[in-house]
Amino acid sequence: MAGISDNLKNFREVSRKQYKDLINSLDEKYCWKCPMRTNSSEAFCREVDSWVRLSGAFEMGIYDHLKERKIPTNCLEVLSAKMIEKKLKSIR
């Protein structure tokens, strides 16, 4: 059975590949998010969009797993609030 470090290492590799695939799937000549077609290599809009999408999918996957474990919705809301608070504190 793999330990936490091994699991995190594997997840990091999978995440890296999925992130790369997401970026490659976006049209290089046109960014549908903004009119910065000509300077997307400087604005990094594709990279940011891919990061946000992958992070959202990750969080929703965890949320779905917790729902499957029959954790009450109000507990999930508390967990979500704690995670957001922790993120905000790390920014400060």
Q: pLDDT of 57-66, one tens digit each?
A: 998 998 899 8
Structure tokens at 12: 């990091």
Q: Which of the pair, 14 or 26, is modelled with greater confidence? A: 14
Domain boundaries, the chain: 4-91
CA dihedral over 39, 42, 45, 50, signed as positive or negative: positive
How is the chain classified by DSSP, letter by letter? Answer: ---HHHHHHHHHHHHHHHHHHHHHHS-TT--TTSS-STTHHHH-HHHHHHHHHHHHHHHHHHHHHHHHTT--HHHHHHHHHHHHHHHHHHH-
Q: Taking 80 as the threshold, does the pLDDT of residue 42 lie above it?
A: no
> With 60 as the cut, is the pLDDT of residue 1 above it?
no
